[in-house]
Amino acid sequence: MLLKRTPVVLAAALSLLATAGPVAAAPAVTVHVTGDSTASTYTSALAPRAGWGQALPVFLTGGVVTANEALSGASSKSFVDLGRLDRILSKIKRGDYLLISFGHNDQKKEDPARYTEPSTTYKAYLSQYVDRSRAKGAKPVLVTSVERRRFTSTGAAAPSHGAYPAAMRELAAAKGVPLIDLTASSTALWNRAGVEGTKKYFLHLPAGSHPHYPDGVEDNTHFQAAGAIEVARLVATALRDQRVLPPGSFRHLTAPVPPSAIVWP
Protein backbone atom coordinates (compact mmCIF):
# COMPACT_ATOMS: atom_id res chain seq x y z
CA MET A 1 0.00 0.00 0.00
CA LEU A 2 1.37 3.43 -0.95
CA LEU A 3 1.82 5.92 1.87
CA LYS A 4 -0.07 9.12 1.47
CA ARG A 5 2.26 12.16 1.22
CA THR A 6 0.75 14.36 3.91
CA PRO A 7 1.86 17.95 4.44
CA VAL A 8 3.62 16.83 7.65
CA VAL A 9 5.69 14.22 5.79
CA LEU A 10 6.62 16.69 3.05
CA ALA A 11 7.60 19.33 5.58
CA ALA A 12 9.86 16.87 7.39
CA ALA A 13 11.58 15.89 4.14
CA LEU A 14 12.18 19.50 3.19
CA SER A 15 13.58 20.19 6.65
CA LEU A 16 16.10 17.33 6.28
CA LEU A 17 17.23 18.68 2.90
CA ALA A 18 17.65 22.16 4.30
CA THR A 19 19.80 21.03 7.25
CA ALA A 20 21.93 18.66 5.19
CA GLY A 21 23.79 21.58 3.57
CA PRO A 22 25.11 21.81 0.02
CA VAL A 23 26.76 18.81 -1.59
CA ALA A 24 30.54 19.38 -1.74
CA ALA A 25 31.87 19.72 -5.27
CA ALA A 26 34.48 17.20 -6.34
CA PRO A 27 37.99 18.70 -6.18
CA ALA A 28 39.41 19.72 -9.53
CA VAL A 29 41.86 17.37 -11.18
CA THR A 30 45.28 18.98 -11.68
CA VAL A 31 47.56 18.34 -14.64
CA HIS A 32 51.11 19.05 -13.48
CA VAL A 33 53.53 19.81 -16.32
CA THR A 34 57.26 19.12 -16.02
CA GLY A 35 59.63 19.98 -18.80
CA ASP A 36 61.98 22.57 -20.26
CA SER A 37 61.77 25.94 -22.01
CA THR A 38 59.58 24.61 -24.81
CA ALA A 39 56.82 24.04 -22.23
CA SER A 40 57.49 26.70 -19.61
CA THR A 41 55.46 29.81 -18.82
CA TYR A 42 56.85 33.21 -19.83
CA THR A 43 56.06 36.62 -18.39
CA SER A 44 54.38 39.42 -20.28
CA ALA A 45 57.79 41.10 -20.73
CA LEU A 46 58.75 38.23 -23.07
CA ALA A 47 55.48 37.97 -24.99
CA PRO A 48 54.72 36.72 -27.59
CA ARG A 49 57.14 33.97 -26.50
CA ALA A 50 55.17 31.16 -24.86
CA GLY A 51 55.50 27.49 -23.97
CA TRP A 52 53.02 24.72 -24.74
CA GLY A 53 52.40 24.15 -21.02
CA GLN A 54 51.40 27.81 -20.77
CA ALA A 55 48.88 27.29 -23.58
CA LEU A 56 47.49 23.96 -22.35
CA PRO A 57 44.70 25.49 -20.19
CA VAL A 58 43.09 26.82 -23.38
CA PHE A 59 42.08 23.25 -24.24
CA LEU A 60 40.98 22.05 -20.79
CA THR A 61 37.63 22.64 -19.11
CA GLY A 62 37.07 24.24 -15.72
CA GLY A 63 37.21 20.91 -13.91
CA VAL A 64 40.85 20.46 -14.88
CA VAL A 65 43.54 22.79 -13.53
CA THR A 66 46.98 23.13 -15.12
CA ALA A 67 50.01 23.58 -12.87
CA ASN A 68 52.86 24.36 -15.22
CA GLU A 69 56.14 23.60 -13.44
CA ALA A 70 58.27 23.39 -16.60
CA LEU A 71 61.60 25.18 -16.15
CA SER A 72 63.67 26.82 -18.86
CA GLY A 73 67.02 25.09 -19.26
CA ALA A 74 66.03 22.01 -17.29
CA SER A 75 66.85 18.41 -18.11
CA SER A 76 65.34 15.34 -16.50
CA LYS A 77 68.39 15.30 -14.20
CA SER A 78 68.71 18.99 -13.27
CA PHE A 79 64.96 19.28 -12.59
CA VAL A 80 65.31 16.56 -9.95
CA ASP A 81 68.60 17.89 -8.57
CA LEU A 82 67.10 21.36 -8.15
CA GLY A 83 64.30 19.93 -6.01
CA ARG A 84 61.58 20.74 -8.51
CA LEU A 85 60.19 17.21 -8.58
CA ASP A 86 60.11 17.13 -4.77
CA ARG A 87 58.13 20.37 -4.81
CA ILE A 88 55.52 18.90 -7.15
CA LEU A 89 55.25 15.67 -5.18
CA SER A 90 54.69 17.63 -1.97
CA LYS A 91 51.40 18.93 -3.33
CA ILE A 92 50.30 16.41 -5.96
CA LYS A 93 47.18 14.51 -4.96
CA ARG A 94 45.62 11.17 -5.81
CA GLY A 95 44.00 11.27 -9.24
CA ASP A 96 46.17 14.13 -10.52
CA TYR A 97 48.28 13.79 -13.67
CA LEU A 98 51.99 14.39 -14.21
CA LEU A 99 53.15 15.19 -17.75
CA ILE A 100 56.86 14.42 -18.10
CA SER A 101 58.66 15.96 -21.09
CA PHE A 102 62.45 16.23 -21.19
CA GLY A 103 65.13 15.70 -23.81
CA HIS A 104 66.26 19.04 -25.23
CA ASN A 105 68.76 19.72 -22.48
CA ASP A 106 69.52 16.10 -21.63
CA GLN A 107 71.52 16.15 -24.88
CA LYS A 108 74.09 18.65 -23.61
CA LYS A 109 77.21 16.54 -23.12
CA GLU A 110 79.26 19.62 -22.29
CA ASP A 111 77.17 20.22 -19.14
CA PRO A 112 77.40 17.43 -16.54
CA ALA A 113 74.70 19.11 -14.46
CA ARG A 114 72.18 18.39 -17.21
CA TYR A 115 73.49 15.65 -19.47
CA THR A 116 71.97 12.17 -19.37
CA GLU A 117 72.70 9.17 -21.55
CA PRO A 118 69.57 7.99 -23.38
CA SER A 119 69.55 4.28 -22.55
CA THR A 120 70.79 4.57 -18.95
CA THR A 121 70.66 7.77 -16.88
CA TYR A 122 67.88 9.36 -18.94
CA LYS A 123 65.64 6.37 -18.34
CA ALA A 124 66.70 6.25 -14.69
CA TYR A 125 65.73 9.87 -14.05
CA LEU A 126 62.45 9.57 -15.95
CA SER A 127 61.68 6.50 -13.85
CA GLN A 128 61.84 8.66 -10.73
CA TYR A 129 59.03 10.84 -12.07
CA VAL A 130 56.95 7.79 -12.95
CA ASP A 131 57.52 5.74 -9.82
CA ARG A 132 57.33 8.55 -7.29
CA SER A 133 54.17 10.10 -8.75
CA ARG A 134 52.50 6.70 -8.86
CA ALA A 135 53.41 6.22 -5.20
CA LYS A 136 51.37 9.37 -4.47
CA GLY A 137 48.38 8.02 -6.38
CA ALA A 138 48.94 10.28 -9.38
CA LYS A 139 49.00 9.24 -13.03
CA PRO A 140 52.22 9.87 -14.97
CA VAL A 141 52.23 10.51 -18.72
CA LEU A 142 55.47 10.54 -20.73
CA VAL A 143 55.73 13.16 -23.50
CA THR A 144 58.54 12.97 -26.05
CA SER A 145 60.26 16.26 -26.93
CA VAL A 146 58.64 18.65 -29.37
CA GLU A 147 60.72 18.85 -32.52
CA ARG A 148 62.81 21.91 -33.39
CA ARG A 149 62.42 23.88 -36.59
CA ARG A 150 65.02 22.11 -38.70
CA PHE A 151 64.60 21.05 -42.30
CA THR A 152 66.58 18.97 -44.76
CA SER A 153 67.67 20.27 -48.16
CA THR A 154 64.51 18.70 -49.59
CA GLY A 155 62.25 20.60 -47.19
CA ALA A 156 61.42 17.77 -44.77
CA ALA A 157 61.41 18.32 -41.01
CA ALA A 158 64.66 16.86 -39.65
CA PRO A 159 64.97 14.97 -36.36
CA SER A 160 67.17 16.68 -33.76
CA HIS A 161 66.80 14.65 -30.55
CA GLY A 162 68.85 11.59 -31.37
CA ALA A 163 68.05 8.51 -29.30
CA TYR A 164 66.05 10.28 -26.59
CA PRO A 165 62.53 9.90 -28.06
CA ALA A 166 63.09 6.18 -28.67
CA ALA A 167 64.40 5.75 -25.13
CA MET A 168 61.27 7.38 -23.71
CA ARG A 169 59.05 5.18 -25.88
CA GLU A 170 60.85 2.10 -24.58
CA LEU A 171 60.45 3.21 -20.97
CA ALA A 172 56.73 3.92 -21.47
CA ALA A 173 56.23 0.41 -22.84
CA ALA A 174 58.26 -1.20 -20.06
CA LYS A 175 56.39 0.62 -17.29
CA GLY A 176 52.94 0.68 -18.86
CA VAL A 177 52.80 4.46 -18.89
CA PRO A 178 50.70 6.44 -21.39
CA LEU A 179 52.93 8.03 -24.02
CA ILE A 180 52.29 11.17 -26.04
CA ASP A 181 54.66 11.04 -28.99
CA LEU A 182 55.00 14.78 -29.39
CA THR A 183 58.17 14.31 -31.43
CA ALA A 184 56.17 12.48 -34.08
CA SER A 185 53.07 14.69 -34.02
CA SER A 186 55.04 17.97 -34.09
CA THR A 187 57.21 16.66 -36.93
CA ALA A 188 54.05 15.96 -38.90
CA LEU A 189 52.75 19.46 -38.13
CA TRP A 190 56.01 21.10 -39.25
CA ASN A 191 55.95 19.06 -42.47
CA ARG A 192 52.41 20.23 -43.19
CA ALA A 193 53.35 23.87 -42.54
CA GLY A 194 56.63 23.73 -44.47
CA VAL A 195 59.83 25.73 -44.20
CA GLU A 196 58.17 29.15 -44.42
CA GLY A 197 54.89 28.26 -42.77
CA THR A 198 56.57 27.15 -39.55
CA LYS A 199 57.96 30.62 -38.94
CA LYS A 200 54.56 31.74 -37.61
CA TYR A 201 54.84 29.06 -34.92
CA PHE A 202 58.40 29.67 -33.79
CA LEU A 203 59.78 32.89 -32.35
CA HIS A 204 60.57 34.53 -35.69
CA LEU A 205 59.99 38.28 -35.56
CA PRO A 206 61.49 40.86 -37.91
CA ALA A 207 63.25 43.91 -36.47
CA GLY A 208 60.85 46.63 -35.38
CA SER A 209 57.78 44.37 -35.39
CA HIS A 210 57.47 43.94 -31.64
CA PRO A 211 58.54 46.23 -28.77
CA HIS A 212 59.92 43.31 -26.74
CA TYR A 213 62.22 42.30 -29.59
CA PRO A 214 63.21 45.58 -31.25
CA ASP A 215 66.14 44.00 -33.11
CA GLY A 216 64.07 41.02 -34.25
CA VAL A 217 64.63 37.38 -33.39
CA GLU A 218 65.00 34.06 -35.23
CA ASP A 219 64.58 31.24 -32.72
CA ASN A 220 64.04 27.75 -34.11
CA THR A 221 63.45 26.06 -30.75
CA HIS A 222 61.00 28.26 -28.86
CA PHE A 223 57.49 29.32 -29.78
CA GLN A 224 55.47 32.42 -30.19
CA ALA A 225 51.83 32.23 -29.13
CA ALA A 226 50.52 30.55 -32.29
CA GLY A 227 53.07 27.74 -31.99
CA ALA A 228 52.54 27.21 -28.27
CA ILE A 229 48.81 26.92 -28.93
CA GLU A 230 49.19 24.39 -31.73
CA VAL A 231 51.65 22.24 -29.79
CA ALA A 232 49.36 22.35 -26.75
CA ARG A 233 46.53 21.28 -29.07
CA LEU A 234 48.61 18.23 -30.07
CA VAL A 235 49.13 17.32 -26.41
CA ALA A 236 45.48 17.82 -25.46
CA THR A 237 44.24 15.89 -28.48
CA ALA A 238 46.49 12.95 -27.58
CA LEU A 239 45.22 13.04 -23.99
CA ARG A 240 41.68 12.83 -25.34
CA ASP A 241 42.34 10.21 -28.01
CA GLN A 242 44.13 7.93 -25.55
CA ARG A 243 41.40 8.52 -22.94
CA VAL A 244 43.98 9.55 -20.38
CA LEU A 245 41.76 12.27 -18.91
CA PRO A 246 38.03 11.76 -18.25
CA PRO A 247 35.50 12.58 -20.96
CA GLY A 248 34.39 16.18 -20.79
CA SER A 249 37.86 17.45 -19.85
CA PHE A 250 38.49 19.13 -23.20
CA ARG A 251 37.32 22.10 -25.24
CA HIS A 252 38.27 23.95 -28.45
CA LEU A 253 40.29 21.02 -29.80
CA THR A 254 39.23 21.67 -33.38
CA ALA A 255 38.44 25.37 -33.12
CA PRO A 256 40.65 28.33 -34.07
CA VAL A 257 42.29 29.83 -30.98
CA PRO A 258 43.67 33.40 -31.05
CA PRO A 259 47.02 34.25 -29.42
CA SER A 260 45.13 36.42 -26.93
CA ALA A 261 43.78 33.21 -25.33
CA ILE A 262 47.17 32.70 -23.67
CA VAL A 263 47.76 34.29 -20.27
CA TRP A 264 51.15 35.92 -19.67
CA PRO A 265 51.74 36.60 -15.96
CB atoms inside a 10 Å sphere around CB 49: 26
Burial 1-30 (b: 16+ CB within 10 A, else e): eeeeeeeeeeeeeeeeeeeeeeeeeeeebb
Kind and range of the H or E run holding 98 = strand 97-100
Question: How far is residue 210 from each of residues 149, 160, 260, 264, measured CA to CA in Å?
Answer: 21, 29, 15, 16
Active site residues: 37, 218, 222
Alpha carbon distance 50, 81 (integer Å): 25
**Rounded Cα–Cα distance for residues 54 and 80 (Å):** 21
3-state DSSP assignment of residue 28 = coil
Q: How many Å is the Cα radius of gyration of the chain?
A: 22
